[in-house]
Amino acid sequence: MKNKKLYNYLPNLIISLFLAFIFLALSLLFAADNIFFEPTTYTNSMHKIKIEDTAFQEIQTYSEQQYAYTGVEADTLKKSINKTDVSNAIYSYVEDTFSYILGEKSELPEFKADFTLLEKNISDDYTKWAKKEGVEYTQELEDIKQKTIKNVEQAIESDLDVMLLSHINKPNGISTKLKDLLVLARKIRIALIATAVIFIGVMAAVNRKHIGGLLYWVGTSLFCSSMLILVPCAILKGTKYYDGLAIHNDTVYNALTRSMYGLTDSLIKLSTVTLIVAVLFMALFALIINLTKFKKKEKC
Amino acid sequence: MVRKEDKASSSDADKLKKNKRTSVAVMVLTPLLVLALCLSIMTLVSYKKFIELQGYAAIAFNENAHLKNPSEDNKYRNADVLPMKGLTKVTVPDSENKTEQHEIIYPYYGDKYAELTVKNDKAGIDKEPVYWGDSDDLLAKGVVQSNYSAYIGATGRVVLAAHNHTYFRYLPNILVGDQVILKTDYGKFTYEVTETKVLPDTDTSLLYYDVTADPPVDDLILYTCWNNGYMGLSDQRLYVICKVVSKEYKN
């Protein structure tokens, strides 16, 4: 007497293969909306390593160094920017960028660092300098001042742009393309869900006489889709792959690597949940099989 | 005596056990089979793209390329490392292309390897340290030498720079005819200022020279930002061009 537990093996295998790819695509699309482009994935990771403190320190160092070629006193800059300003500027830019990509904001993100105090302090310095040197405050001096202020602001913004997001936030840049892609991806997701339902329906029809098999094969598909994400992420994390990022600037390096590890951790969590669901389905199938066997024995 | 029915039922029981084991093995291995099939399909479909992406990833994530700061991370120097010395052919000043061989001690990136003095008090340059390399942290410490320029003492153009609010603050006070002296561990080199020029920052022609020129280029350039004494950034550069007067080598 054959003790067959998996009926219609080949048709189920083929459908399960298709379902695995559909579940993989759906997982990645889910991850795109809730992990890849979710600002908190990055802001939480960066906050853990207090990236705002490192960026603030860089600005302090820049304040010292810039004196050598601008003549603006280091203290003028240092008293114009505080840690709260730095923290707000960093995190609001990250949030605005990903909110834009997710479609929650329609305007291209811009840096929101408040330079009012900085401009005032540098202007005061110029006025004092002109008085001290007996130099007439001409348009030429005003032009030099404006150029200097602009250069200082750009340098500080560069220090605050810890994830190098300004490179993607250009008109028709990468962030705009990602935004459009995400809109398309959401449409694809609906199509994929419909396809998944159809395939599961077909699988249910194939397993209509032994409906427990449906749980097993869906579990198999979920198992494959979870492993296809879990294993590469685990390897990337385990081998500390992101530590090799070729970036000279320490703050940017730490922000980007920490964000990538945070992203990888989130993907690992997602795929672990999927794996647990898969194992549960298979365990349920095993339970059903055993209950069926028990009932048959009782009838006998 | 064993009855036929007992034999038959025991054979059935063995078959049942075998089938049970087979079906459990199939149930356990099937997910792995589906996973292997998925991986095979993905490899077939996207292998070329994967190799291309791997090339980019190898550039972006390259442990060897991750330099935090060239002058700190360049493990070029420890106390036990002997200086790099070499013999180099140098053109004898005022000699119609006569050359001699002398020893030069080659600096490592970040080394302080010379002292710069201008014989004009108003220029405010007296035994200022000269560093090999031109990063921001070296500019904060002294005068820097671009490592695309010639070594001090060798034939070629030596290019030294410093910020206009620190070490070269009073460079605009330098006059034609002033003496400029560079002292190193391997010799003393004297120059004379022949010309000063102010050029836009986009014009870097004086920073480079033709190594094949005949007669060979052999001079010194001091340069800094220049904005007519005003505080702030400048889009002009002041160049002080000096000709070789004498080269005194220790070896």
Q: In this structure, are residues A94 and A118 in contact, taking their beta carbons and an 8 Å threshold?
A: no
Distances (CA, A) of B33 to A219, B37, B65: 13, 6, 40
Residue-wise burial string across B128-150, b where 16 or more C-beta atoms lie within 10 A, e elsewhere:
bebbbbbbbbbbbbbbbbbeebb
Residue B117: pLDDT band (50, 70, 90) is very high
d(CA A218, CA A227): 14
Residue B14 CB neighbours (<10 A): 10
> What pLDDT score was predicted for residue A123?
94
Instruction: Provide the domain limits for residue A153.
Output: 41-101+112-160
Instruction: Specify whether A141 is located in the same domain as A227.
Output: no
> What pLDDT score was predicted for residue A294?
63
Instruction: Specify whether A48 is located in the same domain as A27.
Output: no
Instruction: Specify whether A235 is located in the same domain as A258.
Output: yes
Predicted confidence pLDDT, tens digits, chain A (300 residues): 344 567 888 999 999 999 999 999 999 999 988 888 888 888 888 889 899 999 999 999 899 888 888 888 999 999 999 899 999 999 999 999 998 988 888 888 888 788 999 999 999 999 999 998 888 888 988 998 999 999 999 999 988 998 889 888 988 889 999 999 888 988 999 999 999 999 999 999 998 888 888 999 999 999 999 999 999 999 999 999 998 888 878 888 888 999 899 999 999 999 999 999 999 999 998 888 877 766 666 554
Which pair of structure tokens corresponds to residue B28? 């356990």
Instruction: Specify whether A141 is located in the same domain as A197.
Output: no
Residue B212: pLDDT band (50, 70, 90) is confident
Q: Does any CB of chain B come closer than 8 Å to the CB of residue A193?
A: no
Instruction: Specify whether A52 is located in the same domain as A88.
Output: yes
Instruction: Specify whether A32 is located in the same domain as A89.
Output: no
- Whether A241 is covered by a domain: the verdict is yes
Chain B neighbors of A244, CB-CB under 8 A? 61-63, 65-66
> What pLDDT score was predicted for residue B9?
64
Q: Which residue has the tokens 């095979």?
A: B40
Instruction: Specify whether A8 is located in the same domain as A62.
Output: no
Chain B neighbors of A228, CB-CB under 8 A? 35, 38-39, 42
Please write the tens of the pLDDT for every residue from B60-102: 887 665 554 544 544 445 545 556 677 777 777 776 667 888 8
Q: Which residues contact A218 (CB under 8 A, 6 or more apart)?
A: A16, A19, A200, A203, A281
Instruction: Specify whether A76 is located in the same domain as A125.
Output: yes
Question: Once rounded to an integer, what is the mean pLDDT over residues B34-53?
Answer: 92
Instruction: Specify whether A51 is located in the same domain as A13.
Output: no
- Local structure of B34: helix, strand or coil: helix
Pick from B19, B38, B60: CB nearest A3? B19
d(CA B187, CA B65): 36
Per the CB < 8 Å rule, is A243 touching B63?
yes
Q: In this structure, are residues A152 and A70 in contact, taking their beta carbons and an 8 Å threshold?
A: yes
> What pLDDT score was predicted for residue A75?
92
Question: Once rounded to an integer, what is the mean pLDDT over residues B5-32?
Answer: 74
Instruction: Specify whether A132 is located in the same domain as A190.
Output: no
> What pLDDT score was predicted for residue B56?
87
> What's the angle, vertex CA B228, arms to CA B226 and CA B234, rounded to 5?
40
Q: In this structure, are residues A231 and A275 in contact, taking their beta carbons and an 8 Å threshold?
A: no
Q: Which residue has the tokens 């029915």?
A: B5
d(CA A66, CA A151): 10
- Whether A170 is covered by a domain: the verdict is no
ipTM (interface predicted TM)? 0.78
- Strands B128-132 and B143-145 come out as parallel
Q: Nearest-CA distance from B234 to chain A in Å? A: 7
> What pLDDT score was predicted for residue A1?
37
- Whether A173 is covered by a domain: the verdict is no
Please write the tens of the pLDDT for every residue from B167-205: 999 999 999 999 999 999 999 999 999 999 999 989 988
- Whether A166 is covered by a domain: the verdict is no
Report the half-sphere exposure of B167 (CA within 13 A, side-chain side): 24
Q: Please, what is the angle between helix A39-48 and helix A51-70, to 10°?
A: 80
Per the CB < 8 Å rule, is A219 touching B60?
no
Instruction: Specify whether A236 is located in the same domain as A145.
Output: no
Q: Which residues contact A295 (CB under 8 A, 6 or more apart)?
A: none
> What pLDDT score was predicted for residue A7?
81
- Whether A177 is covered by a domain: the verdict is no
Per the CB < 8 Å rule, is B34 touching A220?
yes
- Whether A270 is covered by a domain: the verdict is yes
Interface of A with B in 145-164 (CB under 8 A): 145, 147-148, 151
- Whether A167 is covered by a domain: the verdict is no
Cβ burial of B112 (10 Å; 0-12, 13-18, 19+) is middle
Residue B50: pLDDT over 80 = yes
Interface of A with B in 227-246 (CB under 8 A): 227-228, 241-246
Adjacent-strand bridge partners of B179: B192
Instruction: Specify whether A30 is located in the same domain as A56.
Output: no
> What pLDDT score was predicted for residue B210?
84
Our count of domains for chain A comes to: 2
Question: Once rounded to an integer, what is the mean pLDDT over residues B142-155?
Answer: 89
Q: Nearest-CA distance from B205 to chain A in Å? A: 21
> What pLDDT score was predicted for residue A228?
95
Cβ burial of B40 (10 Å; 0-12, 13-18, 19+) is exposed
Interface of B with A in 124-143 (CB under 8 A): 136, 139-140
Q: What's A165's DSSP letter?
A: G
- Whether A138 is covered by a domain: the verdict is yes
Nearest to B143 by CA among B221, B229, B245: B221
Interface test with B, best of A12, A28, A144, A159 (most B CBs within 10 A): A144
